Amino acid sequence: MSPFPTGGKPWVYLASGSPQRRAIMEELGIPYRLLAVDVEEIAAATPRETVEENAGRKLLAGLRSANRGAIVIAADTVLEVQGRLLGKPADEAMAVQYLQMLSGGAATAYSAVAVAVAGAAKGCLATETAEVHFKNLPPEVIQWYVSTGEPMGRAGAFGISRLGEVLTESIDGCHSCVSGLPKTALIAALSRIADAQWPESLRNVPAAIIGTRVQLRSLAIPLS
């Protein structure tokens, strides 16, 4: 079966189980199919290296299952606050601790997107950042938010796409970067690896939209 069954558009796989990332793909109007990947996430020396390494691992896992010629997208996001890297909380007590750290302060979201065509020797890795400024969060607000269940399974015990947005004062950067699939980084990375079958609007992305928050680099893909 052709990996491009959708009216000449590439068949895209999203190597993620995140509903926030699915929603962003749908907002962009990119047809895709979910691809389950089971990858151990690591903590590297810096937040940027952490998300880049984890996104790359998820991409490689997805490429092993994708149809040749299909595009695979993988991503990873962490929050850094007070010099500490906040991943997903292990339990509610850790979620409370994370939210106490965020209260009245700021955190930097790091999101990496890794994309490649299955069977190609090179892909693209794009990393984007955003700063989130939080309201003061008294204990009753933190307990309420934890009781919703939303903090679990989210980096820093915080999900901006839903109720978590009410905890914030402002965001310096893109909302989608904090959500977990930064649109600017994704579009920039796709434009680097797309061929003639990809929509022209995503093959000819003006460099001016990339700005200073996105870093792009080539990503070698082992073919064995």
Find the CATH number of the domain harbouring 67: 3.90.950.10
User: Which residues of the chain form beta strands (DSSP E)?
Assistant: 12-14, 32-34, 71-81, 84-86, 106-117, 122-134, 168-172, 214-220
Q: How confident is the model at residue 209 (pLDDT cuts 50, 70, 90)?
A: confident
Q: Mean pLDDT throughout 121-146? A: 96
Whether 11 shows a pLDDT value over 90: the answer reads: no
Specify the DSSP class assigned to residue 69.
T
The number of domains in the chain is 1
124: burial class by Cβ within 10 Å (0-12, 13-18, 19+)? buried
Domain housing 99: 12-220
Query: Is 28 part of any domain?
Result: yes
91: burial class by Cβ within 10 Å (0-12, 13-18, 19+)? exposed
CB count, 10 Å around CB of 175?
17
159: burial class by Cβ within 10 Å (0-12, 13-18, 19+)? buried
Query: Is 2 part of any domain?
Result: no
Whether 214 shows a pLDDT value over 80: the answer reads: yes
Q: How confident is the model at residue 149 (pLDDT cuts 50, 70, 90)?
A: very high
CB count, 10 Å around CB of 210?
18
Query: Is 169 part of any domain?
Result: yes
Query: Is 4 part of any domain?
Result: no
Q: Going by DSSP bridges, is the β-strand pair 106-117/122-134 parallel, antiparallel, or unpaired?
A: antiparallel
pTM, two decimals, is 0.89
| Alpha carbon 21 to its chain's center | 7
Q: How confident is the model at residue 210 (pLDDT cuts 50, 70, 90)?
A: confident
Q: Is 76 an active-site residue?
A: yes
- 76, 91, 172, 195: which one is catalytic? 76
The amino acid occupying position 123 is G
Whether 4 shows a pLDDT value over 60: the answer reads: no
d(CA 117, CA 194): 8
pLDDT exceeding 90 applies to what percent of the chain?
65
Query: Is 34 part of any domain?
Result: yes
For the stretch 22-80, pLDDT in tens is 999 999 888 899 998 989 888 899 999 999 999 999 999 999 989 888 899 999 999 99
